[in-house]
Amino acid sequence: MKAAYIEQFGGPEVLQYGDLPDPVAGPGEVVVDVHAATVNAADWKFRGGEYGRHSNVKFPQIPGRDFSGVVSAVGDGADLKVGDAVFGVLGAGKEGTYCEKIAIPAALVAKKPDGLSHINAAALALTGLTAINSVEDTLKLQRGETILIQGGAGGVAGFAIQFGKYLGARVISTCSAANVDYVRSLGADQVIDYNAENFTRVVSGCDAVFDTVGGDVAKQSYAVLKPGGRAAFIASGAEAPKPDRSDVTGLRPPVPRSRKAMERIAELYVAGAVKPPEVKLYKLSQAADAHRLSQARHFRGKLVFQVR
C-alpha cells in the first residue's frame, strides 16, 4: 500500500511517501480501505518526537489518528462486514492513518451515515470525539450556561461551538479577523478578534472555558471564569495548566475512543446539530506541506488527505 511515513523524528521534511506492507486483520479487527484521513496537531507532535512513548518507537512509522473508509477484510469475531462504510479514530496512543489501508478493532469504528462523504466523516471524527468529550463529558456544560471557546476557527473548536449551541449554552469564541464571519456562521453568539481585543478585558463571568490554543492563552483563560467555573484544555500537554486562583478548576479531557462516541457524532450530524468544517484537501504525497500549514496554525477547519 501507499503511505506517508517517517524513518526518523524531525521537521516536515522527514515525511516520505512510498510503499509499505498491507495490514492484516487480527481477531476482532477489520481492515479498512482508507478514503480520507485528516491532519491533527497530534500528528506533527508525533512526527517531531514530542511524546514520551517515542523512546520505544520502531521505524517506519505512519502518522495520523482519524479516517473514513470501507471495510475490505474482517477478522475472527469482528461484527462488521466487507463493504461497510465506516469512520473512526485509532486507539489511544496509536498512529497510522496516512495510508491506503489500516487494521483497527471493529469496536472502535462506526458506520458512516449515507449522506456524509468520506472526506467530511474523517473531518468530524477526532474533532467531534474531542469536542464532545471536552464539552459534555468533562466540562458537563448545561443549558443556559456561558462558555468561552478559544480558537474557534479550528476543527475541534468549530465542532464545540455548534455542540455548545445544541446543548443550549451561550457561546463566545476567539479567532483572527479573517475568520470572524466563519466562526459566527458556526453559531457563536459573540466573536472576539484576538488581534484587536484582549479577551480577558471583554469577557467575564463564564461558567466554562474550552481552550484549544495553549500557551499564554490557556493560562489567561482562568481569568474569565466566575467562582466555581471550570476550564478544559487540549493543547497544553497531558495536564491542565495550574490555575492562579483557588476558586476554579482546570481539567484535561481524557478523550476515550469507542464506537458509541462515533455513533454520537453520526447522530449529531444526521440531526443537523453539527455540520462538517471547512476543508482543505491534500494528497498523501503532500503530507509535508499539510504539516507545515497545520503547524503554522493559521488556517480554519480541517486539512484532509483524499486517499481514494
Is the distance from CB of 224 to CB of 209 less than 8 angstroms? Answer: yes
Rounded Cα–Cα distance for residues 134 and 140 (Å): 8
Is the distance from CB of 235 to CB of 41 less than 8 angstroms? Answer: yes
Closest CA to 23 of 36, 8, 33: 33
Is the distance from CB of 82 to CB of 74 less than 8 angstroms? Answer: yes
Residues in the chain: 308
Place of cell 466540562: 139
Q: Is beta strand 66-74 parallel, antiparallel or unpaired with respect to 85-89? A: antiparallel
Q: What pLDDT does 131 receive?
A: 98
pTM over 0.75: yes
Is the distance from CB of 121 to CB of 148 less than 8 angstroms? Answer: no
The three grid cell numbers given for residue 169, joined into one nine-digit string: 449554552
Measuring CA to CA, how many Å separate 277 from each of 54, 80, 123, 281?
Answer: 31, 28, 7, 12
Per-residue pLDDT of the chain (308 residues; tens, 9 = 90+): 999 999 999 999 999 999 999 999 999 999 999 999 999 999 999 999 988 776 778 999 999 999 999 999 999 999 999 999 999 999 998 999 999 999 999 999 999 999 999 999 999 999 999 999 999 999 999 999 999 999 999 999 999 999 999 999 999 999 999 999 999 999 999 999 999 999 999 999 999 999 999 999 999 999 999 999 999 999 999 999 999 999 999 999 999 999 999 999 999 999 999 999 999 999 999 999 999 999 988 788 999 999 99
Give me the numbers of helices (H) and strands (E) for the chain, helices first please: 8, 15
Place of cell 501507499: 2
Rounded Cα–Cα distance for residues 198 and 203 (Å): 9
Place of cell 518526537: 49
Rounded Cα–Cα distance for residues 154 and 160 (Å): 10
Q: What pLDDT does 304 receive?
A: 98
Is the distance from CB of 212 to CB of 154 less than 8 angstroms? Answer: yes
Type of residue found at 81: K
Q: Dihedral sign, CA of 186, 40, 31, 27?
A: negative
Q: Is beta strand 249-251 parallel, antiparallel or unpaired with respect to 190-193? A: unpaired
Locate the DSSP E strands across the chain.
2-6, 15-19, 29-39, 66-74, 85-89, 101-105, 109-111, 146-150, 170-175, 190-193, 206-211, 225-233, 249-251, 279-282, 302-306
DSSP state, 297? T
Q: What pLDDT does 140 receive?
A: 98
Q: What pLDDT does 56 receive?
A: 79
Rounded Cα–Cα distance for residues 302 and 294 (Å): 9
